A and B are shown apart, each in its own frame.
Chain A
């Protein structure tokens, strides 16, 4: 198995656009996942009765194979990017919801009481006290969701989307390993870089967690 390096050189442009489209699908999914799971997590955190239902439901969705989710969405949204993004979003939900609820749970009750005693209203407490303190755990979920989405985008290649995943079909159909190897390596690189960037973002957003020298 040898890599045909000249193929890479000839396809730099295609590879860049596939990688960008790949990244776009994954990031949109994490964005929508956060948009949906943040309010749900607050509800699950506050209302004990709904907690099990919401977490259980997201677990069931997670059990459904990704290819099945993409295919089952076909009658609804067709062979489009929308299908890819919805499918991936469903997958991010379980991780984001669980971590956000856990993050909110980890905020000490005394901290919340202190905020209350100082006259801070509940919504403000949530936005300025609870969510920031929960951020490390939430970010851990965002990192997992991002890495997972980036690896899953290629499954959408069967419904005509899938970014770098198209390299797998291409290599398979022509019995030519180079695009497949390049696709796998680029996907891993994207995941690695995205994860490192998220660590950096978290470092900037949570100055209080840095240990004093």
Chain B
């Protein structure tokens, strides 16, 4: 066990391992590219949908059921299926990742919007705000913490699942995991897994930091 971790540490810090197109730096960049782009596309689809459902109160049933459907969907199967249907293209990876990310963003956005006190919305209307003003100046700011939670959850899930891109012959950090498994090279497998975990945790911490930054005025106001 000790030997294994020594080799793992050596693998992670070796300079050769980091350079080139097979190198860790390049793999991390690929992994980030898949994850961030997929989450952005998912957000572009899911945020308006969640806001619409939350603002109008219509389609709540859809929002609630979408989340349990999203949780139940086996990610591996989805990626493989889209891959078999669409052929050898990165589209399969993106489609699958976006489908995975959308439910959590929609549900959390909707949940954040519906948690806004109706009296606050009434007060805003009473002050003469129009529908879109209530939405952008009252509802969205108040719903933002939960919206951010949804984005964070989705991003973690996407980073985690982007590993599967390597299974269908693309890059990213999953390369080490699947190549290592095929070559019975446990050090490489563990190295890949550790890097995926680190990337996920770091991205989540970064978003948590961003969230704190966005709300710092509110915290000081509360004190």
Physical interaction between A and B:
yes
| Chain A residues at the B interface, C-beta cutoff of 8 Å | 1, 60, 62-69, 71-72, 74-75, 144, 147-148, 150-155, 157-159, 164-165, 167-169, 171-172, 175-177, 180-181, 183-184, 187-188, 191-192, 195
Encode B87-131 as 1/0 by CB contact (under 8 A) with A: 000000000000000000000000000000000000000000000
Do most interface residues of chain A lie in helix, strand or loop, or is the interface mixed? helix
Task: Check B189–A65 contact: CB distance below 8 A.
Answer: no
Task: Check B73–A188 contact: CB distance below 8 A.
Answer: yes
A75 and B194 alpha carbons, distance in the complex (Å): 13
Residue among A172, A192, A195 having the largest count of chain B Cβ atoms under 10 Å = A172
Top 9 nearest A-B pairs by Cβ distance? Answer: A65-B160, A191-B72, A68-B193, A71-B193, A184-B77, A68-B197, A154-B74, A187-B74, A64-B197
Task: Check A68–B72 contact: CB distance below 8 A.
Answer: no
Would you mind naming 30 contact pairs between A and B with Cβ atoms under 8 Å apart?
Answer: A1-B84, A63-B200, A64-B197, A67-B163, A67-B164, A67-B196, A68-B196, A72-B190, A144-B71, A150-B72, A155-B76, A164-B74, A167-B77, A168-B74, A168-B77, A171-B80, A172-B83, A172-B84, A172-B167, A172-B168, A176-B84, A180-B80, A183-B74, A187-B73, A187-B74, A188-B69, A191-B68, A191-B72, A192-B72, A195-B72
B32 adjacent to chain A (CB < 8 Å): no
Count A/B pairs, Cβ under 8 Å. 128
Minimum C-beta distance from A68 to chain B (A)? 4
Task: Check B72–A155 contact: CB distance below 8 A.
Answer: no
Task: Check A72–B193 contact: CB distance below 8 A.
Answer: yes
Minimum C-beta distance from A131 to chain B (A)? 25
CB contact under 8 A between A74 and B189, given known A63-B200, A65-B200, A68-B160: yes
Among candidates B72, B80, B196, residue contacting A151 with C-beta atoms closer than 8 Å: B72
B81 adjacent to chain A (CB < 8 Å): yes
Q: Residue on B with the closest CB to A158?
A: B181
Task: Check B194–A147 contact: CB distance below 8 A.
Answer: no
B1 adjacent to chain A (CB < 8 Å): yes
Q: Residue on A with the closest CB to B162?
A: A65
CB contact under 8 A between A165 and B74, given known A66-B160, A75-B1, A180-B84: yes
19 new A-B contacts, CB < 8 A, other than A64-B200, A71-B177, A154-B74, are A60-B201, A65-B200, A74-B189, A74-B190, A75-B190, A147-B72, A151-B75, A152-B74, A155-B75, A158-B177, A164-B74, A165-B77, A168-B76, A171-B84, A183-B77, A184-B73, A188-B72, A191-B72, A195-B72
